[in-house]
Chains A and B, each alone.
Chain A
Amino acid sequence: NAGVMQNPRHLVRRRGQEARLRCSPMKGHSHVYWYRQLPEEGLKFMVYLQKENIIDESGMPKERFSAEFPKEGPSILRIQQVVRGDSAAYFCASSPTGLAYEQYFGPGTRLTVT
């Protein structure tokens, strides 16, 4: 029973490039959350998606960031024209329900912008 999968685990991008982060939820989970974590800090909510729908993107910057969760395939967090301040760990979590109950986190993608 595979857990939440994220890839890549580490990603290095130069300023101005695009970063694509992928998340495959646990089997049977249709709710996906994306979080950002800076060193020594907590988890900052970015976006909550269900299949083919963005439910809440209030934590995601309006520019350069987008997310999707297509009918088939993983959820994608896309960061265009990355800047150094985007360097962080990005975690996705999946949940069997959308009621903010327990979430199961993936291993994260560590993004470094040089």
Chain B
Amino acid sequence: GQQVMQIPQYQHVQEGEDFTTYCNSSTTLSNIQWYKQRPGGHPVFLIQLVKSGEVKKQKRLTFQFGEAKKNSSLHITATQTTDVGTYFCAGPGGSYIPTFGRGTSLIVHP
């Protein structure tokens, strides 16, 4: 079945530094979603990308979908302690089943 690979698994940054997580698929994705899960919490939907080369911004977060629709990235500018958590990407696996990456855990040191 389709797999979505996410790197890095962990990322430590100093508060104020930037952060990027990458999501890669071996096959073309019709869409990709990003979620954030705070420690002890549940995944929260952030955004969905559908178009090739699409770029969307949410305040300090920038989401990109590759031209070939096989990869995506999430970039956070000037991290804050509130950004701590695990960021997951998810793409459609089977017809109806999202396939989640393993996530990137962001640790922000004040």
Contact = CB atoms under 8 A, between A and B. Distances in A.
Interface of A: 33, 35, 40-43, 45, 48, 55-56, 58-59, 91, 93, 98-108
A107 B42 contact: yes
A101 B103 contact: no
12 contacts: A35-B100, A41-B102, A42-B88, A42-B101, A43-B88, A91-B43, A93-B43, A100-B98, A101-B48, A102-B48, A105-B35, A105-B42
Of B33, B42, B43, B44, most A-chain CB atoms within 10 Å: B42
A104 B105 CA distance: 20
Overall SS of chain A's interface: loop
Q: How many of chain B's residues touch chain A, expressed as a range?
A: 20 to 34
A3 to B, nearest CB: 10
Interface of B: 31, 33, 35, 41-45, 48, 88, 92-103, 105
A105 B43 contact: yes
Nearest to A97: B96
Given A43-B43, A108-B42, A102 B33 contact: yes
Contact of B96 (A98, A105, A107): A98
